[in-house]
Amino acid sequence: MVFMPSGAKMLGLQVAKVVQSKDENYKVGEYVSGPLGWATHSVLNPSTFKDTMHDAKLERVRYTDVPLSYSLTALGLIGATAYFGLLDVCKPKEGETLVVNAAAGGVGTIVGQIAKLKGLRVIGFAGSNDKVKWLTEELQFDFAYNYKTCNVVDALKESAPNGVDCYFDNVGGAFSSLVLTQMNTFGRIAVVGAISSYDSDLMNQPLVPAVQTSFIAKQLKMEGLIVSRYESRFPEAYEQIYGWIKEGKLKCYEHVYEGFENLPKALLDVQKGGNTGKAVLKVK
């Protein structure tokens, strides 16, 4: 069965084994990852494929002594996004305080773990009490809150009494306006996702408190990033994350669904925030 939804976003990312090849760069038996589609088999031309997919292209799977799915998560774009958004944009210094939202998600779990490795105080926000418990108990976040039930400003006054230095933002919107009021002078913000606005087009965004007064009062710096900007440095991120995984310092959290027939359930769970870590579907 070959099923190709029309929206490119919906292609997702897959790992596949090369079973036939006319391109000497891709040998039979090797594994590749990329937006291959939800299909048992994909037929593609690596060079044109590269041109039409800007954010994710065909990649040879680099690390085969860890689960192959890691090449879609910690050792793929998810890991690179966490790595560069945190280290290159937020530029944290040991002892500083970081806020990350969608903290139990694919990117958030890696951001939080790298931040702990770098000696930061880590505060996570997620969408259920179970996730909050998991973040503090399993991932060793210093503080975690359910953004649906907490008062964000009160939560930050409790967990970051000396203010927030770095903010890794997957959500945007009103939540971010509140976090910005609690930041320290010269605070840095990486805008990596805007989940809160995904249902709105650019010219019709939700109304939220203006942020400019926070920017001036605290001389904040905020940067939006699409990870493909760092493509030439991906190997640096992957080598570092792979090293942490092998040393047992970083775990790759995946929410695994078994069987192609569970794809609709997996997708709906992602939409509803039902997963912890990156959602991965395993076919036999």
Sites of contact with its own copies (CB under 8 A): 153, 169, 172-174, 176-177, 181, 191-194, 196-197, 200, 202-226, 229
| Minimal distance, residue 186 CB to its own copies, in Å | 9
Nearer CB in complex with its own copies: 142/169: 169
Closer of 3 and 186 to its own copies (Cβ): 186
- Give me the least distance between CB of 246 and its own copies, in Å please: 32
Whose Cβ is closer to its own copies: residue 4's or residue 210's? 210
CB of 169 to its own copies, least distance (A): 7
Question: Minimum Å distance from CB 105 to its own copies?
Answer: 16
CB of 36 to its own copies, least distance (A): 25
| 168 in Cβ contact with 190 (< 8 Å) | yes
CB closer to its own copies, 146 vs 181? 181
Scan for tokens 């320290």, then name that residue.
Answer: 184
List all residues 6 or more positions away from 157 whose beta carbon is below 8 Å from its beta carbon.
182
Nearest CB to its own copies, comparing residues 45 and 162: 162
* Residue 2 β-bridge partners: 39
CB neighbours of 232 closer than 8 A, spacing ≥ 6? none
**Alpha carbon distances (Å) from 182 to 56, 62, 126, 157, 237:** 35, 41, 18, 8, 30
> What's the CA gap between 106 and 277, in Å, rounded?
4
Q: 104 and 270 in contact (C-beta within 8 Å)?
A: no
